[in-house]
A and B are shown apart, each in its own frame.
Chain A
Amino acid sequence: MAESISQASRRVGNTGPQPEAPRVVISAEASEGTDPRAFLHDRVTGDYPIDDFGFDPEFTESVLLPLMRPFYRNWFRVEASGLEHVPADSGALVVANHSGTLAFDAIMTQVALKDDHPAHRNLRMLAANLVFETPVIADLARKAGHTLACHADAERLLAAGEVVGVWPEGFKGIGKPFRERYRLQRFGRGGFVAAAIRTGAPIIPTAIVGAEEIYPMIANASPLARVLGLPYFPITPTFPALGPLGLIPLPSKWMIHFGTPISTSEIPADAADDPMVLFDITDQVRESISASIARLLAIRESVFG
């Protein structure tokens, strides 16, 4: 196991196209003042580092995060807490509730860990294969550091010391009707727990409050969804009635809490194949998220607080 961990970290760590050149280290501070000319030069020559997963830190820092930061700071006014529970320099599995029709919750969690965590950690999410089938989205997801939700990728990233994000409710969570808001859906088969056990990475139960209200889904046009090959087609008070305007998310007040880590390092690796152990830990994670959601909802003054 120790052997494969060191291998994996070498694979992920050894990523620059120019091994001679020092790796580009970009912190959140630096990103505020990225030189646009240097950025454009790198894009034209193709000389920018990416890792084996296709994570492009320069593009993420210079293009994606600046687009998302206004949502984080000014629109949703996200308050992140419990960041001290996310390790500064080792692997961890962030497991959170999923909602809001479009995956703003995942993106805001990424901004929280990048901007508000003292070590400016990059969140590496596990995404559905629909993401990697879809033009443009597939490309952006890889460049932002995300990969397919599968055992192999989860373990490879965790073993390399990355913070991995998983939303185990999947489409059941993100595509649920508004009347079921803040009701956690089924957590799948607990595959994420197995990955954490095999790599000894702590699980960080994470609660997100606010995402439920950005696109209140009053109905699901499922025949249309089927025709378009989508998991659901949302009808909200503003979409599709107002057309593209309906795509503007409502400015709900958000809170993200990273909860007390659940350690997996004392669990023997072969327990990863024991369904009872997996169910048990999955339940523990679910309970913790559920309790945090209740607490955050009680603190939040109003939906748009």
Chain B
Amino acid sequence: MASGVDTVIHMGVISTPRQAGGRMEMKDINVIGTMQLLAACQRTPSVRSLVVKSTSMVYGSGPKDPAMFTEDTEPRHQPVSGWAKDSVEVEAYVRGFGRRRPDVRIVTLRFANIIGPGMRTGMTAYFRLPVVPTVAGFDPRLQFTHEDDSLAAVRVAAVSEHAGTFNIAGDGVITVTQAIRHMGKLPVPTPRLALDALRQVGSIGADFSSEQIRFLTYGRVLDTSAARDTLGFTCEYSTVQAFDDFARWARSG
């Protein structure tokens, strides 16, 4: 690693296999990539700060979850696959690095789904489907972080003096039905088994991994007061405003 580097920002954990060319490649990039980056940091004495972009997917999603997650809420439904599981492993490696290099200030940011005109994710593809299937009988609460806010949060974390893990999300919540309505589309309640079948088809771009279907069943909401009180960071866009900025762009295109 180049000498004199004092701050490392790790944003290299990718969310869908399509970005990498396959699940194996994705896992390599996410987990092996993180290990290599941390190894390089460890050998570079000038590194003073490490900012890691993680995801609220690490909390999992299920019926036994409290209405809102704080950073120290114990996950009751540990993610078992995909991006979420990679992120759990990445966070574990980062904690290990923290033990080996206690002199490095580490900030881990757990983002709610990042959304905006510039984002292409499994979630944005989902809302852009011509008909949007929902899990029949459930209308989960979702949260979003606007893409501009996600960058601002990373910037604040990089220059802050504080260390720790912080939830980042736009204020408030939106249910999946509300979000689909804001897209001007019809939600189509679909049995869970049929959604599992959609995953097998797999070519429609939208994410129907088992982790994502759990998320679309039970939802997840973050308590963001730690970021506000410690980092002094609040998202400019509320969850609804962030989603609407994406929806306006998607509807006009």
Contacts and interface: CB of A to CB of B under 8 A. Distances in A.
A52 B66 contact: no
A45 B65 CA distance: 29
Contacts of B136: 135
B89 interface: no
B107 interface: no
A7 interface: yes
A19 B177 contact: no
Closest 8 CB pairs of A and B: A135-B137, A46-B181, A17-B240, A132-B63, A46-B178, A152-B66, A133-B63, A136-B137
A286 interface: no
A150 B137 contact: no
B137 A16 contact: no
B238 interface: yes
A54 interface: yes
Interface string A24-47: 000000000000000000011110
Interface in A119-161: 129, 132-136, 138-139, 142-143, 147-148, 150, 152-153, 156
B141 A46 contact: no
A265 interface: no
Contact of A142 (B65, B139, B179, B239): B139
Interface in B88-139: 135-139
Contact of A17 (B65, B177, B178): B178
Given A14-B171, A135-B135, A147-B66, 19 more contacts: A11-B223, A18-B240, A19-B241, A43-B181, A50-B141, A54-B67, A54-B139, A54-B175, A129-B64, A138-B137, A138-B138, A139-B139, A142-B139, A142-B141, A147-B67, A152-B67, A152-B73, A153-B67, A156-B68
Nearest to B224: A11
Interface of A: 7, 11, 14-19, 43-46, 48, 50-54, 129, 132-136, 138-139, 142-143, 147-148, 150, 152-153, 156
Nearest to A6: B225
5 contacts: A7-B229, A135-B136, A139-B139, A150-B66, A156-B68
Nearest to A46: B181
Interface string B56-88: 000000011111101001000000000000000
Contacts of B175: 50, 54
A148 B64 contact: yes
Contacts of B154: none
Contacts of A19: 171-172, 238, 240-241
A2 to B, nearest CB: 13
Interface of B: 63-68, 70, 73, 135-139, 141, 171-175, 177-182, 218, 221, 223, 225, 229, 238-241
Contacts, number: 90
Contact of A46 (B138, B172, B182, B225): B182
A211 B185 CA distance: 43
A129 B171 CA distance: 26
A95 B135 CA distance: 34
Contacts of A44: 181
Contact of B67 (A7, A133, A148): A148
A150 B65 CA distance: 9
B68 A17 contact: no
B178 to A, nearest CB: 4
Contact of A132 (B178, B218, B238): B218
Contacts of B73: 152
A17 B141 contact: no
A16 B135 CA distance: 24
B251 to A, nearest CB: 13
Contacts of A129: 63-64
A46 B241 CA distance: 13
B67 A46 contact: no
A46 B179 contact: yes
Most central of B64, B68, B136 by chain A CB within 10 Å: B68
A9 to B, nearest CB: 11
A139 B221 CA distance: 15
